[in-house]
Amino acid sequence: MAAKEQSIADIQAQMSEEGFWDHQEQANKIMQELKGLKNIVEPFMECIRRVKDAKEFLELEEDDKSLEEQLADEAALLKIKIDALEIEAHLNGPFDNANALLSINAGAGGTESCDWASMLMRMYVRHADSKGYKCEVIDILHGDEAGIKNATLRIEGEKAYGFLKSEKGVHRLVRISPFDSNKRRHTSFASVEVIPEVDNDSEVDINPSELRIDVFRASGPGGQSVNTTDSAVRVTHLPTGLVAQSQKERSQLQNKMQAMKVLRARLLALKVQQQEEVMNKEAGDKQKIEWGSQIRSYVLHPYLMVKDHRSGVETGNAQKVLDGEIDPFIEGFLKTKPEDRDKRLKARGNDDV
């Protein structure tokens, strides 16, 4: 805390210097850093103060029922605040403060998987709304009959990536299919990718000669909202084969800028992944949770249960989860050590929930 308090003092001194606001973009970044530091330090110091006050009340040694009730209420409130601080303490990665780019891809299984992918998209949109995040669909490909084949959401908010990075992996749904006239039980899969949105001045260099840019007409289920111009943009990074596209905007230029943002983020994620693979190789036996690992199961038949296979967190209220209440799973992921997550996934094997 002492180091963070010193950083706050240094930034405040910097803000008072002449010419601080001459470079607006840089000043905004510094202000964002100051806000993040204050959001850690101020709640922490408030908890310290309230614990001290509560201890002073205890030292009064008065046989007062109302005082006991007041202290019990204060203890319960402090537990909530300290639990929240504990979660914040886990969000110390280099990109945890960034906005999130969340992509959903339907697995094999046709209409079933496309419908499941659209259910996941609804879950993340509702979760973003409940957290006060700004959520926008920047790219979507609808299924042939129902649902979506894939979609990319841009989720903007404080520590959006830090929280949502826990959703990366394969999500499984077990239910009675609404598309099966024989009412049989089906298992569907969809994968979720979460990467941080990065600034244009990040450490990723993109050579324009290594890009292929295609324009096409935005797709949609039909109706007046379908774009009638070739404004959608797809950008392919030829050396890696990574692809990013955007069709949200009506302007081709704006879609290109958005697609480049997504591509830059994916290139950075690839770079980080490659660095991690080198470190894991040097570490010897250290296991890594692979992208294809099934992280969570949503069972709607023959019983109701949602279970995260990395943290062990589970609930019988599947509908609330599908309505966006995924905070318990996010918190469980953040509190579980990486090696413990890996052990749980290995122990689970191919068993059902």
Tens-place pLDDT, residues 242-270: 999 998 888 899 999 999 989 989 998 88
Residue 200: pLDDT above 80? no
pLDDT one-digit tens code per residue, 180-194: 888 889 999 999 999
User: Of residues 165 and 60, which shows the higher confidence score?
Assistant: 165
Question: Average pLDDT of 211-218?
Answer: 88
Three-class HEC string of the chain: CHHHHHHHHHHHHHHCCCCHHHCHHHHHHHHHHHHHHHHHHHHHHHHHHHHHHHHHHHCCCCCCHHHHHHHHHHHHHHHHHHHHHHHHHHCCCCCCCCCEEEEEEECCCCHHHHHHHHHHHHHHHHHHHHHCCEEEEEEEEECCCCCEEEEEEEEECCCHHHHHHHHCEEEEEEEECCCCCCCCEEEEEEEEEEEECCCCCCCCCCCHHHEEEEEECCCCCCCCCCCCCCCEEEEEECCCCEEEEECCCCCHHHHHHHHHHHHHHHHHHHHHHHHHHHHHHHHCCCCCCCCCCEEEEEECCCCCEEEECCCCCEECCHHHHHCCCCHHHHHHHHHCCHHHHHHHHHHHCCCCC
Do the Cβ atoms of 102 and 192 come closer than 8 Å? Answer: yes
- What pLDDT, on the 0 to 100 scale, is given for residue 114? 95
- What pLDDT, on the 0 to 100 scale, is given for residue 138? 93
Find the range with the poorest average confidence among 98-102, 162-166, 267-271, 291-295: 291-295
Alpha-carbon distance 201 to 198, whole Å? 8
At 293, is the pLDDT very low, low, confident or very high (cuts 50, 70, 90)? low
Highest mean predicted confidence (pLDDT) among 40-54, 121-135, 290-304: 121-135
Residue 286: pLDDT above 60? no
pLDDT one-digit tens code per residue, 300-332: 999 999 999 999 999 999 999 999 999 999 999
Q: In what order do the strands lie in the sheet with 211-216?
A: 211-216, 232-237, 242-246
At 149, is the pLDDT very low, low, confident or very high (cuts 50, 70, 90)? very high
- What pLDDT, on the 0 to 100 scale, is given for residue 288? 40
At 284, is the pLDDT very low, low, confident or very high (cuts 50, 70, 90)? very low
| C-beta atoms surrounding 127 within 10 Å | 22
Residue 78: pLDDT above 60? yes
- What pLDDT, on the 0 to 100 scale, is given for residue 350? 47
Do the Cβ atoms of 253 and 230 come closer than 8 Å? Answer: no
At 224, is the pLDDT very low, low, confident or very high (cuts 50, 70, 90)? very low
User: Of residues 13 and 59, which shows the higher confidence score?
Assistant: 13
- C-alpha distances (whole Å) from 273 to each of 6, 102, 203, 334 are 33, 17, 15, 19
Pull the structure tokens for residue 328.
Answer: 């318990």
- What is the pLDDT of the chain when averaged over all its residues? 86
User: Of residues 352 and 87, which shows the higher confidence score?
Assistant: 87
Question: Average pLDDT of 11-15?
Answer: 91
pTM of structure: 0.79
Q: By percentage, how much of the chain surpasses pLDDT 70?
A: 89
Tell me the pairing of strands 148-156 and 100-106.
antiparallel
Cα-trace Rg, the chain: 24
Residue 291: pLDDT above 50? no
Instruction: Pick left, alpha or beta for residue 307 (phi over 0 → left; psi -120 to 50 → alpha; otherwise beta).
Output: beta
Interior angle at CA 266, CA 197 and CA 87, nearest 5:
50
- What pLDDT, on the 0 to 100 scale, is given for residue 164? 96
- What pLDDT, on the 0 to 100 scale, is given for residue 171? 96
- What pLDDT, on the 0 to 100 scale, is given for residue 205? 81
Do the Cβ atoms of 227 and 247 come closer than 8 Å? Answer: yes
